[in-house]
Structure 1
Amino acid sequence: MDTTEELNGTCFYAGKPNLNAAELLFMIFCENTASQFGIGAADFGAVVALISGRNNLGTRPKPVGATLGTSYASKAARKMFKKTKFPFGISMPTWLGGYTPWTAKRVMVRNIGTFVGRSIPLIGIIILAADVSAIIYRTVRDYNIIARGGDKIW
């Protein structure tokens, strides 16, 4: 966190003078975002997992109502695990149809390759959601330390 001063009802932060409350919050948000997304293997892995899960590759014709296309993650997992199934007839849940809870639907699968291929993008989403949550938490915390009484959040 950079040094702060209050000058005539405005703040000085990160070398920028005369910042109002909204500008101060934005500066702190940008600083925390840059800090969170510094070159890190987890962030890079999250983006790769998310992108590799996009179903933008062509595939065989599918029944009406099925999700069209397949992903790089799914193709690689199916190639690696082939037709291997979970032992004892166990079925595991996977998610189809989108990157939001409102567009995704749960499907039970017995094939390990299918499970892994569909789970990789979910791991990316979880890591990125954790990053966003950390950025927001630290931004509000740092802002409330600096801001004056009426400008504080919560």
Structure 2
Amino acid sequence: MDTTETLNGTYFYHGNDNLTKEELFWLIFLESFSNHAGIEIETAATIFVGRPIIPKRKVLGSKGDRTSIASKMSRRIFKDAKLPNNLKIPTIAYGQVRNSNQIGTIVGRWVPYLGYPQAIIICAIVAKDTRSKYNLIAYPQDRIAWTYF
């Protein structure tokens, strides 16, 4: 048998025989997901470094008692660099929108929000790859008609 064939109404895929249509779908999904796993590391990292996990000293008027790795590192890298013409960009801190013109503050607060769209994009790519490969292999009556992918 080849790597992809059908036999008596069941499927054979990469050494797995007698697969139902559901088992075939999940095998293809897992294969596609593992192919995109390299992207997952960066996505998880950007989300993780934005979480407030580092204790900080309590200052009068401060909202939280923790800060993030992204915030500490970006403030250290950019020091007191500011945007030109006193331009202020909105950021989210402790559930509130705050404006800032310091580059380190802006970068530190926006880093975790870069990871969430990456995670959504990865899920969409995996779903599209899974659907395409599954529909290529499956019987016509077993194919999936997802119009939004």
TM-score, length-scaled by structure 2: 0.81
Give the CA deviation at 1:123: 2.2
Aligned-residue RMSD, C-alpha: 2.5
Match of 1:6, as an amino acid?
A: T
Aligned position for 2:53: 56
Aligned position for 2:79: 82
Q: Which structure's CA Rg is the greater one?
A: 2
Q: Distance in 2 between matches of 1:62 and 1:30?
A: 48
1:110-136 superposed Cα distances (whole Å, 9 cap, x missing partner): 221110111222223333322222111
Report the more deviating stretch, 116-125 or 19-28: 116-125
Do the aligned partners of 1:32 and 1:135 also contact (CA within 8 Å) in 2? yes
Give the CA deviation at 1:106: 4.4
1:30-63 superposed Cα distances (whole Å, 9 cap, x missing partner): 11111112xx4x5443332222111111123367
Q: Which of the numbers 105, 113, 129 marks the counterpart of 1:122?
A: 113
Gaps of 5+ in 2: none
Q: Distance in 1 between matches of 2:97 and 2:134?
A: 40
User: Which aligned runs of 4 or more in structure 1 are off by greater than 4 angstroms?
Assistant: 62-65
Q: Distance in 2 between matches of 1:107 and 1:72?
A: 19
Secondary structure in 2 aligned to 1:70? Answer: strand
Aligned position for 1:101: none
Going from structure 1 to structure 2, the CA distance change for 1:149 and 1:74 (only over 3 Å counts) comes to same
Which aligned pairs between 1:123-138 and structure 2 lie closer than 5 A? Answer: 123-138=114-129
Query: Which structure has more strand as a fraction of its residues?
Result: 2
Query: How high is the sequence identity, in percent, across the aligned residues?
Result: 34
Secondary structure in 2 aligned to 1:61? Answer: coil
Q: Distance in 1 between matches of 2:71 and 2:113?
A: 12
TM-score, length-scaled by structure 1: 0.79
